[in-house]
Amino acid sequence: MSSPMDLYEQLTAQGLAVRHIKAQKGNKAEVESAVQLLLRMKEDYKLLTGQDYQAGRPPTHTEDDDSGPAEDDEDDQVNPWNVSTSSAKGVDYDKLIVRFGSCKIEQELVDRIARVTGKTPHHFLRRGIFFSHRDMHQILDAYESRKSFYLYTGRGPSSGAMHVGHLIPFLFTKWLQDVFDVPLVVQMTDDEKYLWKDLSLEDCHRYTLENARDIIACGFDPDKTFIFSDLDYMGASPSFYRNVVKVQKHVTFNQVKGIFGFTDSDCIGKISFPAIQAAPSFSNSFPQIFGDRNDVQCLIPCAIDQDPYFRMTRDVAPRIGYLKPALLHSTFFPALQGAQTKMSASDANSSIFLTDTAKQIKNKVNKHAFSGGKDTVEEHRKLGGNPDVDVSFMYLTFFLEDDEQLEKIRQERCASHRRTEEVFDRDASAHDRGASGETQASDRRDRATVHDPAQTTLQLLEPSEERTLTVFCSCVITLC
């Protein structure tokens, strides 16, 4: 699917191609087919943006999107399908807050969470990894007046293995469940992945079961957690489907085009899918947990790429008599090659998967991890490093919980002009919880088992003693 800017650029290129063919005096059929393609693209552009294509004038903010500002600007692209920026420091998150119309997580909010829960805020909050929110104060107001809320997050199972970036929202959700002691629903959008990827329904469903093991192994409260596959739950829950239909009735094609950039050539499944991701935001989609109550507020932790779905959901909620869900947004765990893109399952070399062996992890980090912009180790030593763009150091900000130790590594990293990997090597024994270069991370991660894959909804089982994440993180830190 193309964004308005992508389509504008493709149109510009096609305009040039037509001119070129004409200048070369190409045969009539060739000219005709290039012109027809240009005209069709202009129609798509008009449908997508509500504007006529004009060479040299990129699209402005789309008129039909009344749920929030357009997704992409010249530098940063952030949407559910693509995250990219030209800056080595990563996406400009302050700019994104303005563009998406969300609120920055200020120190005052972090302090309030600490006060209300009586717990030290998670390091993702202390370090600004969760950086933006919608209506979090409302959740805390409700909680203080003894009204409960519930958590909702999800995963689109596009492969058997999740990567480390996917764990960021799940880890944080686990912490939120622990400190607030609230129910959690986890949506596995196997239907979404079938619609978007070249995968069979059977594969998508199988990936749901595989990925659920990694999610379960994060250690959620088995009595308060419901993990479900869309392919199973949609058919099994009339309440859920009723909410899907309500959302579908109140969002127009123009609105989803404006928010997600769908075009006329996208299949109708994609166009109606956002309603399915919206439905878990309403408590009466889960009568087995909340009875017929539709007034239990929902809090959604996710990376900010998922925000378009929930801008749409928040826009439609009051129109169908429901509360708007609140959100907590995280930054992106960067690709090995640098923070210009997020770690993504579609590029195996950009990612560390939970099924990678320790040896594979070591190789990937050594071969691909961007370490501060200097071409050689010698140059690096001479000129010093820059933790702002050093991927290995960025990974530590996500995973090394000890603030003092992190600061020490940062200072050493600058002062001694050593690569972060070298600093890690020296400190490895401090973190080594048994990772060996030859051992399969997957052998040791001891995924939780799902007893009966045929059951219609996934039952949460006891998490293993040795948690996937602990093992995995120690592996990354040790081997970096």
Shorter beta-carbon distance to ligand TYM: residue 11 or 212: 212
Shorter beta-carbon distance to ligand TYM: residue 62 or 306: 306
Is 125 an interacting residue with respect to ligand TYM (CB under 6 A)? no
Shorter beta-carbon distance to ligand TYM: residue 8 or 150: 150
Is 208 an interacting residue with respect to ligand TYM (CB under 6 A)? no
342, two tokens: 């997020």
Half-sphere exposure of 272 (CA within 13 A, CB side): 11
- Residue pair 331/304 in contact by the 8 Å Cβ criterion: yes
Q: Which of the ranges 166-174, 214-222, 383-391, 468-476 carries the binding residues for ligand TYM, by CB under 6 A?
A: 166-174
Is 325 an interacting residue with respect to ligand TYM (CB under 6 A)? no
- Interface with ligand TYM (CB under 6 A), residue total 23
How many beta carbons lie within 10 A of that of residue 289, not counting itself? Answer: 16
Is 168 an interacting residue with respect to ligand TYM (CB under 6 A)? yes
- Residue pair 449/461 in contact by the 8 Å Cβ criterion: yes
Shorter beta-carbon distance to ligand TYM: residue 49 or 344: 344
Is 153 an interacting residue with respect to ligand TYM (CB under 6 A)? yes
Shorter beta-carbon distance to ligand TYM: residue 166 or 447: 166
Task: Work out how close the CB of 425 gets to ligand TYM at its nearest, in angstroms, rounded to a whole number.
Answer: 25
Task: Report d(CA 339, CA 348) in Å as an integer.
Answer: 16
- Residue pair 468/447 in contact by the 8 Å Cβ criterion: yes
Q: Which of the ranges 28-36, 325-333, 377-385, 401-409 carries the binding residues for ligand TYM, by CB under 6 A?
A: 325-333
Is 190 an interacting residue with respect to ligand TYM (CB under 6 A)? no
Q: Which of the ranges 42-50, 131-139, 186-194, 424-432 carries the binding residues for ligand TYM, by CB under 6 A?
A: 186-194
φ, ψ of residue 159 to 5 degrees: the values are -155, 165
DSSP 371: B
Task: Work out how close the CB of 261 gets to ligand TYM at its nearest, in angstroms, rounded to a whole number.
Answer: 15
The full length of the chain comes to: 480
- Residue pair 144/200 in contact by the 8 Å Cβ criterion: no
Shorter beta-carbon distance to ligand TYM: residue 34 or 136: 136
DSSP 217: T
Is 392 an interacting residue with respect to ligand TYM (CB under 6 A)? no
- Residue pair 477/392 in contact by the 8 Å Cβ criterion: no
Cα 125 from chain centre: 17
Is 177 an interacting residue with respect to ligand TYM (CB under 6 A)? no
Task: Work out how close the CB of 395 gets to ligand TYM at its nearest, in angstroms, rounded to a whole number.
Answer: 11
* Cα end-to-end distance, the chain, whole Å: 36
How many beta carbons lie within 10 A of that of residue 56, not counting itself? Answer: 5
Shorter beta-carbon distance to ligand TYM: residue 165 or 261: 165
- Residue pair 184/151 in contact by the 8 Å Cβ criterion: yes
Shorter beta-carbon distance to ligand TYM: residue 41 or 335: 335
Task: Report d(CA 250, CA 193) in Å as an integer.
Answer: 24
Binding mask 254-293 for ligand TYM (x = CB under 6 A): -----------------------x----------------
Shorter beta-carbon distance to ligand TYM: residue 8 or 172: 172
Q: Which residue in 334, 355, 236, 318 sits closest to 285, CA to CA?
A: 236
- Residue pair 284/316 in contact by the 8 Å Cβ criterion: no
Is 303 an interacting residue with respect to ligand TYM (CB under 6 A)? yes
Kindly tell me which residue out of 305, 315, 356, 390 binds ligand TYM, with binding defined by CB under 6 A. 305
Shorter beta-carbon distance to ligand TYM: residue 168 or 251: 168
Task: Report d(CA 286, CA 238) in Å as an integer.
Answer: 10
DSSP per-residue string spanning 286-347: -HHHHTT----EEEEEEEGGGHHHHHHHHHHGGGGT-PPPEEEEE-PPEETTEEEEE--TT-
Residues that bind ligand TYM (CB under 6 A): 152-156, 165-166, 168-169, 187, 189, 192, 277, 300, 302-303, 305-306, 330, 332-333, 342-343
